Amino acid sequence: MRLRINDNRWVRLALLVPVLLSYGCATAPPEEPDNICEIFREKEDWHDASVSASKRWGGPVHLPMAIMYQESAFREDARPPMRYFLGFIPTGRGSSAYGYSQAQTPAWSDYQRESGNSWADRDDFEDAVDFVQWYMDKTSRINGVSKHDAFAQYLNYHEGWGGYRRGSYRSKQWLVGVARKVERRSNMYRSQYASCKEEFESGWFWGLFD
């Protein structure tokens, strides 16, 4: 049968294919990850999600962003590298960490249960930033760490609440160095966000007149 150019079935199929293909495309990391203002300009839904999580759990907007940059470089499908025996036999990954926040499966399950967000996905930014804020809130309540203390918050995030209390990080100078990197990035993001926060708070309508 000859296909007719005006056959509605083929028109509908042509319109549907790009939609189906889009489901297989990962969300690309921000083009300028060293500037939180540019990140939020590129991905306004990330700003909305960050502010919402901040209001819910009480932590600052900039710190979870610094933690997630360190953990995944803002890659939604990030996971630890595969380990190999004899250099070529895969033996599994170092941990169950996955997604923007690199949350491990047990911690993620606790978050889903305690937050009421049972349908949360680790590769969804809104859920990931809410998870980090939840973790920071528990760190504050369990170990008395300020939600603005990027250094100590990251050590808790990496070592767990018990590990932090035991001081496990003291024998890991490399980890202390990483925590200082997170602290510097958090401070940088805080300063940057202070310069553009009003822009996002004014909303899209007033932005038309800038």
Return mean pLDDT, the chain. Answer: 84
Q: Which of 96-100, 104-108, 131-135, 137-141 has the lowest mean pLDDT?
A: 96-100
pLDDT digits (tens, 9 = 90+) for 3-36: 454 555 554 544 554 544 444 456 899 999 999 9
Give the CATH number of domain 30-202. 1.10.530.10
pLDDT at 93: 37
Residues counted in the chain = 210
In the chain the first and final C-alpha atoms are separated, in Å, by 57
More confident residue, 138 or 208: 138
> Which pLDDT band holds residue 201 (cuts at 50, 70, 90)?
confident
pLDDT at 164: 98
Q: Which of 1-15, 145-159, 163-177, 180-194 has the lowest mean pLDDT?
A: 1-15
d(CA 23, CA 204): 27
More confident residue, 12 or 96: 96
Task: Parse the chain into domains and list their residue ranges.
Answer: 30-202
Answer yes or no: is pLDDT of 122 > 60: yes
Nearest of 153, 101, 110, 107 to residue 128 by alpha carbon:
101
pTM greater than 0.75 (yes/no):
yes
Structural contact between residues 96 and 103, judged by C-beta atoms closer than 8 angstroms: no
